[in-house]
Amino acid sequence: MRTFLSALGVAIALISAVFQVHAQKETERFIPIGQSPGVSQKYTSIGEISEVDAARRTVTVAEQAGRRTVKITEKTRIWLDRTKLKQANLSGSFTDLQKGRRVEVKYEDPERPQVADWVKVEIARP
């Protein structure tokens, strides 16, 4: 019985380990650039888009610490931050990632920041 119980406990622990925790991304859309709690400035880059490579689906962000190129995948969420226009934030697409626009990019993995988990693009002019 003890062996059975131990095996059951290990099995359930293994199953629970499969479930990766992640943050609630839907409300993230409404958080302006630089204000994501526990994330902005720690696991994100904030700066201006200096280069866009549509073929490779990468953008280069010029931030204070230098330049960083990140890949935009199909899973990357892109939001238009229209807070300065006092308008609702919207979902965006790769074409909204334009040179000169201010962005905040969160990395999918802090250890390997080559892939973007989400990108907020500031839309300051109508």
Site residues (CB under 8 A) for another protein? 1, 4-5, 7-9, 11-13, 15-17, 19-32, 35-40, 42-43, 82-83, 86-89, 91
What phi and psi, each to the nearest 5 degrees, are found at residue 72?
A: -100, 115
Instruction: Identify which of residues 1 and 55 has a Cβ nearer to another protein in the complex.
Output: 1
Q: Are 107 and 67 in contact (CB under 8 A)?
A: no
Count of residues for the chain?
126
Instruction: Identify which of residues 91 and 98 has a Cβ nearer to another protein in the complex.
Output: 91
CA separation for the pair 125, 12 (Å, rounded): 52
CA separation for the pair 71, 84 (Å, rounded): 27
Q: How far is the CB of 36 from another protein (least distance, A)?
A: 5
Q: How far is the CB of 60 from another protein (least distance, A)?
A: 25
Instruction: Identify which of residues 30 and 53 has a Cβ nearer to another protein in the complex.
Output: 30
